[in-house]
A and B are shown apart, each in its own frame.
Chain A
């Protein structure tokens, strides 16, 4: 049976995350403005303007990873939000109603910022949260172009909203954006993104020195703190350790037999269990769509507004065709021989196209995929036994293919 081989640098994350949240609370007490923003927000802008970005999605992940989902969601369900809505949203709405938080609570927001480029759920979720706190909500409304060739009216529309956002933040914070400072933050951000790209790209080695589970654990700083020295230093250390593992051929698991792709969101409350389950079959999950967006893009320090416009229009919009193309590229780069698609009960955006994506990828690669029915946060929507059985059958299928090529 294969076993895991942990990465030491990841042990720094606990302290780093604690410092991020306690630092945010301190900054708010000192009078800094606080924005509750979504994970694809232009983080660099906030750091350049001394605004503290808080990510409700990340906060929900902490709730779910600590297995507090049902305790916190109960508060949102009690007032009429049905289970089955995005469990991130239900956790954060539950937090706003109950104050229950695994990170010691969040500072009070001065504004909310989100976009529908990622999903429409975010706008509803942030609408309801901004109502609760009685603070303004700023939405970057992004036409759904599926990353297809540019349409000038879409670019104009998104760009004009980004300029409105800057004006909104200047008014809120009472000071003008220092574009030189923004350049410096972008320089740090680009460096950090390059490190992240190398870290997740290292999984192309056989054995893969880092698994997707490690990526899930270590992605909070690239989402929330890129553009800060703290994030840069953390990923420098992580990459250094990974490079040693590559040289030593030390894999994320021992006896790596299968190299899998993971589609859609993680099962945050089951990461350890699922990792152990897959490891017991000799499977290392080496690639995923979920951690990629923060590795792909570099901002132009001389024209960040155009870069952010591109991000919103192209990089955060996973159209079916783009997802298929991406998976096929990843299959080649990472030497994949299996595909797991998480049909996530409370994420319609990611899940709707999964049966069709699985079919096309199977047609093109000849490798069957497995649709794992679960939820990224709510354990009521699946059973471990069902997943164990499904996974076992899937590896039997993969095994029979390798026995009878």
Chain B
């Protein structure tokens, strides 16, 4: 626990940004890990089956081995894991769950299965629609299909109590992260948003039992700490994954204060809990359907407008940084529409393709600084 706590402390302070799978394999019991891509795989089911769920994240977008195996114009969120598999960084996993949420994940799941026929491979058919009336029965059956697949793999049944225990463990984790989230958004907090997002990513990649104990210790440790910072323009990070502390540091240095996000390694990961008092599969389905709008799913213009109005207003957001991974069709399709919605609310938008190392740091810094000046009324 002490080691994990010091790791968390280091991540929070920005001293340790290299929490990557290849260097941390000892954290996972060999042969017992079910990896998965993001978003929205119900990890609780994997956990209840006796496996350790591990989201495969890769902030390193330098692809060399995978280039001959996948088209160059594929999203880094799927190319990264494939590169890691080819360079043997994922040799220790027992299986892979891939959520079907877009063309990239759908097509990639086929290639993955073709390359790794010896693994437990499961494509989770997440529905495009999020209207509970038409989707809920299907999604219950679909989450049960994952449960049954894992039961066959482990050779033992997942009973409701066991699944509820996993849900409780994950709820506890989400609760800790929500407390840290409140701290990260406060102007006088010792927790920076950059440190916070790095910490979320770190906890996502650790067994929850270990993470929860350290998070409790960390919250206790920083409970009374304060820090004085200058008042800065409040921005919302809109995107999918942002695990680059280099970028987040640039945001802070440009005079911008992140107060909220909708990222996979941000609020999408922890805002909603699953009920511990109803059928556990139904609880996980309800959690999924209660999540915020996301471009890979189908939400109406009105649903988006309501969401943006509420969320931006709640946080006093002055500007939005629209971060899309290179070659992300859903986010590219949504950009003109969402920018229009935000502009109609008087909120300026800066769009950035977050693709280190191929983008110019200097250019990104300049754009962030110009955006910050604009928000301050200087431009």
Instruction: List chain A positions with a Cβ less than 8 A from chain B.
Output: 79-82, 84-86, 89, 116, 119-121, 123-125, 127-128, 131, 139, 141, 143-146, 151-154, 156-157, 160-161, 164, 319-321, 343, 345, 348-349, 351-356, 360
Contact = CB atoms under 8 A, between A and B. Distances in A.
Contacts of B334: 124
A85 B301 contact: no
Nearest to A86: B329
A240 B350 CA distance: 60
A28 B45 CA distance: 52
Interface string B57-75: 0000000000011110110
5 contacts: A121-B333, A124-B295, A146-B123, A351-B71, A353-B107
A161 B334 CA distance: 25
Contacts of B296: 120
Nearest to B125: A143
A356 B68 CA distance: 10
A271 B74 CA distance: 26
Nearest to A346: B73
B111 A116 contact: no
A183 to B, nearest CB: 28
Interface stretch (B2-10, B98-106, B363-371): B98-106
A84 B327 contact: yes
Contacts of A153: 137-138, 141-142, 145
A356 B103 contact: no
B333 A356 contact: no
Contacts of B114: 320-321, 353, 356, 360
A227 to B, nearest CB: 27
A80 B332 CA distance: 8
A311 B230 CA distance: 60
A160 to B, nearest CB: 7
A324 to B, nearest CB: 9
A79, A81, A152, A153, most chain B CB atoms within 10 A: A153
A127 B333 contact: yes
B18 interface: no
Contacts of B142: 143, 153
B128 A139 contact: yes
B336 A85 contact: no
A120 B103 contact: yes
A123 B129 CA distance: 11
Contacts of B100: 143-144
Interface in B80-139: 100-104, 106-111, 113-115, 123, 125, 127-129, 134-135, 137-138
A197 to B, nearest CB: 27
A121 to B, nearest CB: 6
Interface of B: 68-71, 73-74, 100-104, 106-111, 113-115, 123, 125, 127-129, 134-135, 137-138, 141-142, 145, 295-296, 298, 301, 327, 329-330, 332-337, 339, 351
Contacts of B337: 128, 131
Given A348-B73, A349-B106, A349-B107, A85 B329 contact: yes
A103 B128 CA distance: 33
B73, B111, B127, B335, most chain A CB atoms within 10 A: B73
A85 B332 contact: yes
Main secondary structure of the interface of B (DSSP, over half): helix
Contact of A352 (B111, B125, B145): B111
Given A84-B73, A121-B329, A355-B70, A348 B141 contact: no
A76 to B, nearest CB: 8
5 tightest CB-CB pairs across the interface, nearest first?
A153-B141, A352-B107, A320-B110, A143-B125, A124-B333
A319 B108 CA distance: 10
A123 B330 CA distance: 9
Contact of B127 (A86, A125, A141): A141
Contact of A120 (B68, B301, B329): B329
Nearest to B301: A131
Contacts, number: 132
Contact of B74 (A141, A151, A348): A348
Contacts of A353: 107, 110-111, 114
A144 B123 contact: yes
Given A123-B298, A139-B129, A352 B330 contact: no
Contact of A124 (B104, B107, B125, B330): B330
A119 B103 CA distance: 6
Nearest to A317: B106
B131 to A, nearest CB: 10
A81 B113 CA distance: 32
Given A123-B298, A353-B110, A151 B145 contact: yes
A352 B70 contact: yes
A321 B114 CA distance: 8
Given A81-B336, A85-B332, A157-B138, A123 B73 contact: no
Nearest to A157: B138
A39 B27 CA distance: 49
B71 A355 contact: yes
A141 B68 CA distance: 33
A81 B129 CA distance: 24
Contacts of B109: 144
B125 A145 contact: yes
B103, B145, B332, most chain A CB atoms within 10 A: B103
A120 B334 CA distance: 13
A343 B71 contact: yes
A156 B138 contact: yes
B336 A79 contact: yes
Contacts of B123: 144, 146
B129 A141 contact: yes
B104 A348 contact: yes
A87 to B, nearest CB: 12
Contacts of B102: 120
A160 B298 contact: no
A161 B138 CA distance: 12
Given A80-B339, A84-B327, A354-B71, A144 B125 contact: yes
A355 B68 CA distance: 7
Contacts of A84: 73, 327, 332
Contact of A139 (B68, B113, B298, B330): B298
A253 to B, nearest CB: 30
A201 B238 CA distance: 50
A164 B125 contact: no
A334 to B, nearest CB: 24
Contact of B335 (A80, A89, A121, A319): A80
A33 to B, nearest CB: 21
